[in-house]
A and B are shown apart, each in its own frame.
Chain A
Amino acid sequence: DIQMTQSPSSLSASVGDRVTITCRASQNIISYVNWYQQKPGRAPKLLIYVASSLQSGVPSRFSGSGSGTDFTLTISSLQPEDFATYYCQQCHSAPLTFGGGTKVEIK
């Protein structure tokens, strides 16, 4: 199984900060990683697919990059509505696996 290791598990940031979340795969998954945002009491929402493609309707301050085993999700200027938990997910092979999540909190 492909393990997805996210870091950090939590972070505190201020509105306007640039935030970077990292996901490392246990083997080469090319570009087959997706990113989701989940707010308390809500279902996850797709932000980025296949490493760097922005899902329709998602603000352009979100971006994804990486290939192989190392991937990043970047929020260029953190907004109040971005405080949430973020998950990466690999879709290279079954079983489909998620990272452990990164909780972004208000500093």
Chain B
Amino acid sequence: EVQLVESGGGLVQPGRSLRLSCVASGFTFDDYAMHWVRQVPGKGLEWVSSVTWNSGNVAYADSVKGRFTISRDNAKNSLYLQMNSLRTEDMALYYCAKGGTGSYLGWFDPWGQGTLVTV
């Protein structure tokens, strides 16, 4: 069974940093693109960032470009999101999601349970 478990969320002051982690199991992690998607409680979904299987291609939403960095460690089956210069508008539940093989352009399936970031 595919499982994605996020951690690292919490309460942080504006301008500070936070690093989210997502540990994957149940599939060959280094075959798949991975994504971060966020959701303000009670609101819609917003794509944040994606990385291809070998980190050769990364992409960011304009709202986080230059402040957030996505990375992965295939040896540890782990995905990360380094969030710097946090703003109140970054406050959301952050989901990790598995993508497809090849390009990061695809669907998100499955999703983790999310980790809450409060700024």
Contact = CB atoms under 8 A, between A and B. Distances in A.
Given A94-B104, A98-B45, 18 more contacts: A32-B105, A34-B107, A43-B112, A44-B45, A44-B108, A45-B110, A46-B108, A46-B109, A46-B110, A89-B47, A89-B108, A91-B105, A94-B59, A96-B47, A96-B105, A99-B44, A100-B44, A101-B44
Contact of A92 (B59, B105, B109, B114): B105
Contacts, number: 60
Contacts of A46: 107-110
Main secondary structure of the interface of B (DSSP, over half): loop
Contact of B47 (A92, A95, A101): A95
Given A91-B105, A92-B105, A101-B44, A43 B50 contact: no
A95 B111 contact: no
Contacts of A34: 107-108
Interface residues of B, number: 21
A88 to B, nearest CB: 10
B89 interface: no
B96 to A, nearest CB: 10
Contacts of A28: none
Nearest to A50: B107
Interface residues of A, number: 24
Contact of B106 (A91, A100, A101): A91
B80 interface: no
B111 A43 contact: yes
Nearest to B111: A43
A93 interface: yes
Interface in B32-79: 35, 44-47, 50, 59, 61-62
Contacts of B95: 43-44
B118 interface: no
B26 to A, nearest CB: 14
B7 interface: no
